[in-house]
């Protein structure tokens, strides 16, 4: 309460300093903030996906079979998923400026050290550590966007920064392939780790909450607040001493949220296929050479980038035109999940171009369905944004544990077909979850 009063006092001071006889035009500070969120997501996914680029070389150097590689691929997900709730609780009690700088710096250091791993157990442990340190990232990003953006802009904002996981990888995957060709997989890990360490320093130097941001005026603060943005959370730490049983019931006992959780498992399953097994699939099972596979792998990421931008723009446009939030949010998500089932089509073609086409359609669908964080912003109790976001990300990232392992077990000899059937079935389950479990989208009281 005291922190909220301080934020309002600071905002009031800005208003007095900027009072004018004519209506004040809102600044656009929140839109420039999206660049920082976008770069953070790019770095996050570079450090998750660099293993997929290096997988073939690592398997050869460390003499690992597909089952062991499946364990390595899934190791990040073990700690990342399980630490989502503690990470979300930490977000409810921390300041995003310090929190994000700290975790980016630490996980980037863990990435750098992976370049020196020389045994299965060492690499496995470092991937577990990476997941632990990245766990608070997305709940923190969601808190930031809920604080900085009104409801009518939130899907676009989430789509734009989330697109970093696709466009960054689309353009940087070829660069990582060339880096590995020049400096080995060890050098690639060291480079990506150094990039993150630099960004942690930049984040701490530049990020501020709305009430403290230089260059923002009262008109923009009021635009955010009147549109449903939770400006009062600016710079605040939740004052609760503990979570109550009612809080846990709100997060775990709500049918609508369970529909969102199950759907998110499906959304992230396609993503984790592309972050882990996809390059190996192209090289080992579709017999593309390493460099060609690296460049071909960029195409589905570009398709996913287009998908998520189109989804965010469409969803917010529907809201502005008076379409109910329920329909405006569900239509892109369900459509995207159904499109992601196209991945199974790759089982029925031989041409590399057709394989990439089906993969691109599937990943476009994954991107089109990836505005799901907007549901956390719209449905969670405002004092439980971190806890709800943590639970949502925990459920969604169970796929980061299960998908790599299941695929490693389903692949037999040179037959990758059963793995793609499995991926398609997961998309169907996700669409059904949104159709039959998630009802009206509204904030939980």
Residue among 422, 392, 389, 393 nearest 145 (CA): 389
CB contact at 8 A, 40 and 104: yes
- 36-72 core/surface letters (b: 16 or more CB in 10 A; e: else): bbbbbbbbbbbbbbbbbbbbbbbbeebebebeebbbb
Distance CA 232, CA 210 (A): 9
Q: Quick one: CA dihedral 172, 314, 33, 24, positive or negative?
A: positive
Residue with the bigger pLDDT between 148 and 111: it is 111
Distance CA 58, CA 419 (A): 22
User: How many percent of the chain have pLDDT more than 90?
Assistant: 19
Q: What is the pLDDT of residue 345?
A: 94
295 has pLDDT over 80: no
What structural domains and CATH numbers belong to the chain? 29-233+245-436 (1.20.1250.20)
Q: What is the pLDDT of residue 364?
A: 93
> What's the pLDDT tens digit per position in 225-275?
765 556 565 544 444 447 778 778 878 888 888 988 999 999 889 988 987
10 has pLDDT over 60: no
> What's the pLDDT tens digit per position in 95-142?
888 888 999 999 999 999 998 888 888 889 999 999 889 888 888 887
Question: pTM for this structure?
Answer: 0.67
43 has pLDDT over 60: yes
């Amino acid at each position: 309460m005291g922190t909220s009063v301080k934020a309002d006092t600071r905002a009031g001071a800005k208003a007095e300093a900027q009072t004018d006889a004519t209506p004040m035009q809102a600044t656009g500070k929140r839109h420039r903030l999206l660049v920082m969120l976008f770069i953070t997501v790019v770095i996050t996914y570079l450090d998750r996906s660099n293993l997929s680029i290096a997988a073939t070389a690592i398997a050869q150097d460390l003499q690992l079979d597909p089952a062991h590689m499946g364990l390595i691929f899934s190791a990040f997900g073990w700690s990342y998923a399980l630490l989502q709730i503690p990470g979300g609780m930490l977000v409810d009690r921390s300041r995003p400026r310090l929190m994000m700088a700290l975790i980016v710096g630490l996980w980037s250091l863990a990435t750098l050290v992976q370049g020196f791993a020389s045994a299965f157990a060492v690499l496995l442990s470092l991937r577990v550590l990476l997941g632990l340190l990245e766990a608070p990232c997305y709940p923190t990003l969601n808190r930031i966007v809920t604080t900085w953006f009104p409801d009518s802009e939130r899907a676009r904002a989430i789509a734009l920064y989330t697109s970093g996981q696709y466009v960054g990888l689309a353009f940087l995957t070829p660069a990582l392939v060339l880096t590995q060709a020049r400096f080995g997989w060890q050098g690639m890990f060291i480079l990506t780790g150094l990039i993150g360490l630099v960004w942690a320093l930049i984040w701490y130097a530049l990020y501020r909450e709305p009430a403290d941001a230089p260059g923002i005026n009262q008109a923009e603060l009021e635009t955010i607040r009147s549109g449903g943005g939770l400006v009062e959370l600016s710079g605040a730490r939740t004052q609760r001493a503990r979570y109550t049983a009612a809080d846990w019931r709100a997060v775990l006992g709500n049918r609508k949220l369970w529909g969102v959780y199950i759907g998110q498992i499906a959304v992230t399953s396609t993503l984790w296929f592309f972050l882990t097994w996809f390059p190996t699939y192209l090289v080992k099972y579709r017999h593309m050479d390493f460099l060609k596979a690296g460049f071909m792998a960029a195409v589905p990421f570009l398709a996913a980038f287009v998908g998520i931008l189109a989804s965010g723009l469409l969803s917010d446009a529907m809201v502005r035109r008076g379409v109910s939030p329920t329909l405006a949010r569900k239509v892109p998500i369900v459509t995207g999940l159904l499109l992601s089932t196209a991945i199974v089509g790759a089982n029925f073609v031989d041409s590399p171009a057709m394989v990439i086409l089906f993969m691109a359609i599937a990943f476009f669908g994954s991107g089109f369905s990836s505005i799901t964080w907007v549901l956390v912003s719209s449905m969670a109790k405002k004092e439980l944004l971190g806890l709800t976001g943590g639970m949502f990300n925990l459920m969604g990232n169970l796929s980061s544990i299960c998908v790599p392992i299941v695929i490693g077990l389903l692949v037999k000899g040179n037959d990758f077909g059963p793995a793609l059937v499995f991926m398609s079935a997961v998309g169907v389950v996700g669409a059904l979850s949104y159709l039959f479990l998630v009802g009206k989208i509204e904030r939980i009281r």
